[in-house]
Amino acid sequence: MLWLSLLTAASALRVVVATPIAKFGDFAVKHAWAESPQGWELHSDAPADHILSLRIGLKQSRIEELKAHLLEVSDPFHSRYGQHLSKEEVEDFVKPRPESVELVESWLIAHGIDPESAITRSPAGDWLNLRVPVSLVEKMLDTKYNVFRHRESENLVVRTMSYSLPRELHDHVQVITPTTMFGGLRGMKKTSFLNPKPAPESLIEGTPFAGQAGQAVPTSCNNAVTTSCLQALYGTTNYVPTATANNSIGIAGYLEEFANAADLQTFLKKFRPAAAGATFPVVEINGGLNTQSDPGVEANLDIQTTVGLTFPTPNTYFSTGGSPPFIADSNTPTDTNEPYDQWVAFILAQTHIPGVISTSYGDDEQTVPLDFAESVCNSFAQVGARGTSLLFSSGDDGVGAGNCLTNDGTNKKLFQPNFPASCPFVTTVGGTTKVNPEVAVSFSGGGFSRVFAQPSYQASAVKTFLTALGKTNAGLFNTTGRAYPDVAAQGNNFQIVVGGSIESVGGTSASCPTVSSVIALLNDFRLSNGKSTLGFLNPLLYANPSALNDITSGSNPGCGTNGFTARAGWDPVTGLGSPNFPKLQTVALAAP
């Protein structure tokens, strides 16, 4: 049976004496789609008694002040560099204004919802969580919910093509979910893929070999990338972490992907013998899974890469739910949550979080509603302000996959940036391949946001690139948008273990945990020298481009074009280049 037994409206909410609804009758559209997001199609009407786990994000009172603080503590030339905020200090910046809370509560009461008994709140009070039947949400948001089907996976979700709010609430409510956000489920893409066949055993180097950044790396690494290849290529072979009591790295996983502990041991015995026996805790968020059966290629790639490179630094895998069936709640048979939103809310509620977190998932930016994108990106700024580096893969479609037509009804052909890669408060990682020298890998995602403005920390580097580019690809991208990637690393022919067997994997999913691991080692180095974690990385990286290995050849075709071409300095294929750990150590130590 498609729909399981559902709670009734009466059991989901405690009805209270309502303020007249007429007070909130003047609606204005908050967000609307011109057509169903790519990959999704209308299936049926949503049952009126289906229960939605509604999340209301209130406008944060001092979010712009928090962003200014973030840039100050991330600027190596500022006197406040490294002075990260505590959990409580961040929450003070983002708590909503009292008048926002009062007005939204009045609106809820007008619909018979008791704010005291029916709502749970985030620690800062900027998120309200409640369970509401579709019939009532449709009245609250002046909309119609439907069941949509994802063509590829055939999964079903309850969403709406548009939603509205009373005009007097627009200045007080940032976003409401689930509404028009489709891409956070099966539409969300993991940025990895299996190569047709593993590399020949003769090319797989299992025994660690010495190497420093800039020195020759064995030619076998051209076709089979192992932990030893990465250590040699980026200069971490001889570094031994010592601040393991205070330092850690996290890996964010979605789409029912989880890392297999037995496969990790097989991998370590083969490729990092000194780390054999290393384990990692799994934190399950929003119904995330960890059954240890049918291991995920993406998850295994992430955890095997990070443990192999950072041992004995503690690793944590975050398994975040958000793909049907929604096992954690029998009253919600189809998914009603957006994983990025759920994941970052969980992270911000923790007192202690890892110093660096790697995420190898993304969506086409145009499939993400503006209100949702801004809300999530602002949350990432909060994480950065607390001293954690957030890294995201840039995607595996070059400048865009498919026909690259816009979804606003105009069907205009444009390069298609990715989100969260396009958020200005994360560090985005592109891909390279080959050694001696490294070159850009053709699928490396890169480009310019059509949502977020270009931040000051990268303005000079991007201007230099655009000047050299001239009129190439003119009109296909937003020259004033946030440009990405910021850095890059190897992204093809990674040798990992899946189900007990060695597989060859590619994608910027490999690049992201690689760079994240280098950052974790840099955090270890700073902590062991009495300094703070690096936190938000971009201002430091753009101020010190010579601390990375510049990649000057290769391109990222897409959208029926040759895309962009790597060149000296920053470019939207490989960013500033790949890590050079010894040089980055010098930069990290010099920073306050």
**Dihedral (CA of 558, 563, 567, 573) sign:** negative
The residue with greater pLDDT, 204 or 416, is 416
pLDDT bin (cut points 50, 70, 90) of residue 21 is low
β-strand 487-490 against 427-433: which pairing, if any?
parallel
Beta-bridge partner residues of 42: 148
Q: What is the pLDDT of residues 573-587, one digit of tens each?
A: 999 999 999 999 999
Rounded CA gap, 182 and 192, in Å? Answer: 21
Residues 439 and 566: beta-carbon distance below 8 Å: yes
Instruction: List phi, psi (to 5°) of 504.
Output: -105, 125
Rounded CA gap, 81 and 531, in Å? Answer: 11
- Cα 155 from chain centroid? 22
Q: What is the dihedral of CA 19, 20, 26, 28, to 10 degrees?
A: 40
Q: What is the pLDDT of residues 341-385, one digit of tens each?
A: 888 999 999 999 999 999 988 888 998 899 999 999 999 999 999
Please work out, in degrees rounded to the nearest 5, the angle formed at the alpha carbon of residue 418 by the alpha carbons of 260 and 87.
70
Q: What is the dihedral of CA 369, 371, 375, 376, to 10 degrees?
A: 0
Residues 24 and 103: beta-carbon distance below 8 Å: no
The residue with greater pLDDT, 77 or 401, is 77
pLDDT higher than threshold 50 for residue 187: no
Please compute the mean of the pLDDT values over residues 50-73 and round it to a whole number.
Answer: 96
| Known active-site residue 511 | no
Please compute the mean of the pLDDT values over residues 161-171 and round it to a whole number.
Answer: 96
Please compute the mean of the pLDDT values over residues 245-252 and round it to a whole number.
Answer: 95
Residues 318 and 343: beta-carbon distance below 8 Å: yes
Residues 90 and 536: beta-carbon distance below 8 Å: no
| pLDDT given for residue 2 in this prediction | 31
- Cα 78 from chain centroid? 27
| pLDDT given for residue 358 in this prediction | 96
List the catalytic residue out of 126, 302, 371, 396: 302
Residues 307 and 264: beta-carbon distance below 8 Å: yes
| pLDDT given for residue 20 in this prediction | 60
| pLDDT given for residue 326 in this prediction | 33
Beta-bridge partner residues of 489: 431
| pLDDT given for residue 363 in this prediction | 84
- Tell whether residue 569 is among the known ligand binding residues: yes
Q: What is the pLDDT of residues 472-500, one digit of tens each?
A: 999 999 999 999 999 999 999 999 999 99
**387 Rama sector, left if φ>0, alpha if ψ -120 to 50, beta otherwise:** left
pLDDT bin (cut points 50, 70, 90) of residue 204 is low
Helices (H), 131-205: 134-140
Rounded CA gap, 204 and 206, in Å? Answer: 6
pLDDT higher than threshold 80 for residue 169: yes
Residues 428 and 225: beta-carbon distance below 8 Å: no
Instruction: List phi, psi (to 5°) of 115.
Output: -60, -25
92's enclosing H/E stretch is helix 87-94
pLDDT higher than threshold 80 for residue 534: yes
Q: Within a 13 Å sphere around the CA of 498, how many CA atoms are in the beta-carbon half?
A: 20
CB neighbourhood size of 438 (10 A): 25
- Tell whether residue 294 is among the known ligand binding residues: no
| Known active-site residue 509 | yes
- Tell whether residue 571 is among the known ligand binding residues: yes
| pLDDT given for residue 135 in this prediction | 96
Q: What is the dihedral of CA 10, 14, 19, 20, to 10 degrees?
A: 0
pLDDT higher than threshold 80 for residue 545: yes
Single pTM value for the model: 0.90
Tell me what the pLDDT averaged over the chain comes to. Answer: 88
pLDDT higher than threshold 90 for residue 389: yes
User: For 167, which DSSP code?
Assistant: G
CATH class given for the domain over 190-590? alpha beta
User: For 207, which DSSP code?
Assistant: S
Please compute the mean of the pLDDT values over residues 242-265 and round it to a whole number.
Answer: 88
**Which residue in 239, 227, 212, 230 sits closest to 267, CA to CA?**
227
| Known active-site residue 298 | yes
| pLDDT given for residue 229 in this prediction | 95
User: For 561, which DSSP code?
Assistant: B
**Whole-Å CA distances, 558 to 353, 481, 519, 582:** 37, 19, 30, 35
CB neighbour class for 336 (10 Å; exposed up to 12, middle 13-18, buried from 19): buried
Q: Which residues contact 489 (CB under 8 A, 6 or more apart)?
A: 230, 234, 429, 431, 432, 510, 511, 512, 514, 515, 518, 578, 579
**Which residue in 168, 217, 227 sits closest to 434, CA to CA?**
217
- Tell whether residue 25 is among the known ligand binding residues: no
Q: What is the pLDDT of residues 550-560, one digit of tens each?
A: 999 999 999 99
Span of 4-18, 60-74, 204-218, 249-263 with lowest mean pLDDT = 4-18
**Which residue in 545, 532, 431 sits closest to 191, CA to CA?**
431
Domain ranges of the chain: 9-60+95-180, 190-590
| pLDDT given for residue 23 in this prediction | 74
pLDDT bin (cut points 50, 70, 90) of residue 401 is confident
List the catalytic residue out of 138, 257, 298, 365: 298
Q: Residue 537, SS3?
A: coil
Rounded CA gap, 355 and 362, in Å? Answer: 21
Residues 549 and 537: beta-carbon distance below 8 Å: no
